[in-house]
Structure 1
Amino acid sequence: MDTDSIVFVAGHRGLVGSAIVRKLKSLGYSRILTKTRNELDLTDSKQVERFFEENRPQYVFLSAAKVGGIYANSKYPADFIRENLAIQTNVIHASYRFQTKKLLFLGSSCIYPKMAPQPLLEDYLLSGKLESTNEPYAIAKIAGIKMCEAYNAQYDTNFMAVMPTNLYGPHDNFDLQHSHVLPALIRKFHQAKVSGQNHVLVWGTGMPRREFLHVDDLADACVYLMDKFDVKTIGPFVNIGTGDDLTIRELAELIGQTVGFVGDIVFDETKPDGTPRKVLDVSKINRLGWQASIGLKEGIEETYQWFQDHYDQ
């Protein structure tokens, strides 16, 4: 990519999209296209086609998606599969029709089989049953990856996909019912501290192991891949993560210390744990010359500061 390339970041207000925009701006990219949902509904094929016809983006980062944690996925399964399929279909097809040079599609590590061997290699996709609590979302994301593959095969497009691990950072969703585990815990511990509660309740046993990647590291990897590689080099998709994990109990303790909460952490074992362990094999992305640089403690401290600065919003 040249810094004067026309780059469309779909989902620029979200956790991933906002980080990609920050990264592009820091590198001097000046023709970044962004649209709010009110300006461009990505689930509407006619709106998407018109946008691509008028703007002709050369590079597309497809980070727009409907996302959420166990509660949201369980309560709104139809919304998760319908909206994600619509967004992906519309943007990928328009990128083909209007000759986008490269597209980078954001998958998710939660689409690997629930009981796949650890750490998760790219080859494990579709090798077993999915985690039931997020199956509709996972199926939609798998369809997006396979759609990129199919367009590459039939139309010789250059549509890549990446598989990030659990993400966190500025502009995350801190809603207690609809967010992922790390931002939800930050809010829980913060509210417990300011209200003087003597304990914080955490879903599950605390035993599942998870890997977490700061979203600025992901953005750095995405721009790096888009700039330097193509689908023939990286293959259908590539994992992006740290390669390190910890238990939910250890995560809760680290967040409690960061927030300054003094009290007990209580685990509600009647609530689901989800997948027992999820950590990515990142040897492929490392061989391509990239690795994560933001440590978890440092990243949580920065994210908590951002949360406090924007809490009223």
Structure 2
Amino acid sequence: MTYPESRITNHQSRIYIAGHRGMVGSAIWRALTAKGYTNLIGKTSKELDLRNQQAVNYFIAKEQPDVIIDAAAKVGGILANNSYPYPFLMENLQIQNNLIDAAHKLNVSKFIFLGSSCIYPKFAPQPLKEAYLLTDSLEPTNEWYAIAKIAGVKACEAIRKQFGKDFVSLMPTNLYGPHDNFDLESSHVMPAMIRKFHEAKENNHATVTLWGSGTPMREFLYVEDLAEATIFAVENVLPEHLYNVGTGTDVTIKALAETIQNSVGHKGDIIWDRTKPDGTPRKLMDSSKLRSLNWAPKVALEDGIKLAYQWYLENSNTARTN
């Protein structure tokens, strides 16, 4: 087994987490804090508009972080991507380009770009390898977001290739966990199901209607496992520019729904609305490159669903639901 070269070992290193209030950013913040990092930097979108290049350049020049972790993005599910293609493309390009360019021009030592498995072609061989990037057409329902993320990956690769800087991209599979988005019009499949089954249980175990056939297969990673992978990238110099981050196992959407239904305690029926799109038939990540460097996920899917539902119950008044 090979290990990457160690670089960041000082817990006083200044680390800026863009998007530190979101599901991913907040998980990274908690994990870094738990490991003894005490010099973390975060700004809300009201305090710093990452779409504003001048504001971003000024902020990075002033704060002079040693590491930037880009966990900021405009995200959503199939419905949101289909309904608002332009902001999903343009706002994500603006956010990441401003951060990447500022990090490069202002000599930030390390940049970690977080993306998504949707960067890979719709019908790429399974499991998805990093080498499959740009080998075929994308899934049409989320291509706007995917194109933006691909541009971020290639920008980091270009900087790494031309200038030898430690810019690395991590592509997680479908994420879930604390601080997820539970808005039914913009959320991903996992939090949407958790909310639907919970509300149906509260409504005398009413019938739950779900999109599609239930046959597509998806892989899910608890967000705290992604946080640990990110810290791994912070503390080491990884030998390549792009790494998948996943569990290596997937389930059908039908099996996912039944697992969530059992965890929530819903006793009603499930109806599958086949007039709605399924999306990509299967998305399983090959995370063997990162695993070969001694990283591995820890949270099993059933355990993670229980933790996510418990968080939703405890934070229903403040969770993002609209």
Contact (CA 8 Å) 2:166, 2:237: kept in 1 or not?
A: no
| Counterpart mapping for 1:165-176 below 5 A | 165-176=173-184
Match of 1:96 among 83, 100, 104: 104
Equivalent of 2:280 in 252, 275, 281: 275
Instruction: Give matches, 1:234-273, under 5 Å.
Output: 235-273=240-278
Distance 1:15 1:312 in 2: 16
- Bigger shift: residues 147-156 or 128-137: 147-156
Q: CA deviation at 1:155?
A: 2.5
* Matching residue of 1:220: 228
Counterpart of 2:129? 121
Secondary structure of 2:279's aligned partner: coil
Letter aligned with residue 214 of structure 1? Y
What TM-score, normalized by structure 1, do the two folds share? 0.98
Matched positions, count:
310
2:147 to 139, 143, 150: 139
Counterpart in the other structure of 1:196: 204
C-alpha displacement of 1:156 = 2.4
1:1-313 to structure 2, matched below 5 A, reads: 1=8, 2-230=10-238, 233=239, 235-313=240-318
Q: Which has the higher contact order (CA 8 A, sep 6+)?
A: 2
CA-atom RMSD, angstroms? 0.7
SS in 2 for 1:207: coil
Q: How far is the alpha carbon of 1:226 from its aligned partner?
A: 1.7
- Aligned AA (1:97): K
- Range moving further from structure 2, 140-149 or 150-159: 150-159
- For residue 202 of structure 1, give the secondary structure of its aligned residue in structure 2: strand
* CA shift for structure 1 position 229: 2.1
1:12-45 CA deviation, whole Å, 9 max, x = no partner?
0111100000010001111100000000000000
Unpaired segments ≥5 residues, structure 2: 1-7
Q: Paired residue for 2:4?
A: none
Q: What is the CA distance between 1:97 and its match in structure 2?
A: 1.4
- How many percent identity over aligned positions? 52
Q: Once the 2 structures are TM-superposed, how far is the Cα of residue 197 of structure 1 from its aligned partner?
A: 4.0
Q: For 1:205-226, what per-residue CA distance to the aligned partner results, in whole angstroms no more than 9, with x for missing partners?
A: 0000000000000000110122
Distance in structure 2 (CA, Å) of the matches to 1:214 and 1:229: 24
Letter paired with 1:40: L
Separation in structure 2 between the aligned mates of residue 118 and residue 204 of structure 1, nearest angstrom: 21
Deviations 1:173-214 (A, max 9, x none): 010110000000000000000111431001000000000000
Bigger shift: residues 192-201 or 203-212: 192-201
Superposed displacement of residue 47, structure 1: 0.6
The TM-score normalised by the length of structure 2 is 0.95
- Between the aligned partners of 1:287 and 1:180, the Cα distance in structure 2 is 30
Letter matched to residue 250 of structure 2: D
Per-residue CA distance 1:240-295 (angstroms, 9 max, x = gap): 00000000000000000000000111100000000000001111111010111100
Q: Which contiguous aligned blocks of 4+ residues in structure 1 show a shift greater than 4 angstroms? A: none
1:150 CA drift (Å): 1.2
- Counterpart of 1:104 in 2: which secondary structure? strand
**2:290 and 2:192 mapped to 1: Cα distance?**
29
Give the counterpart letter for 2:151 in structure 1: A
Q: Partner amino acid for 2:166? A: N
CA–CA separation in structure 2 for the residues paired with 1:3 and 1:198: 51
Q: Distance in 1 between matches of 2:174 and 2:62?
A: 35
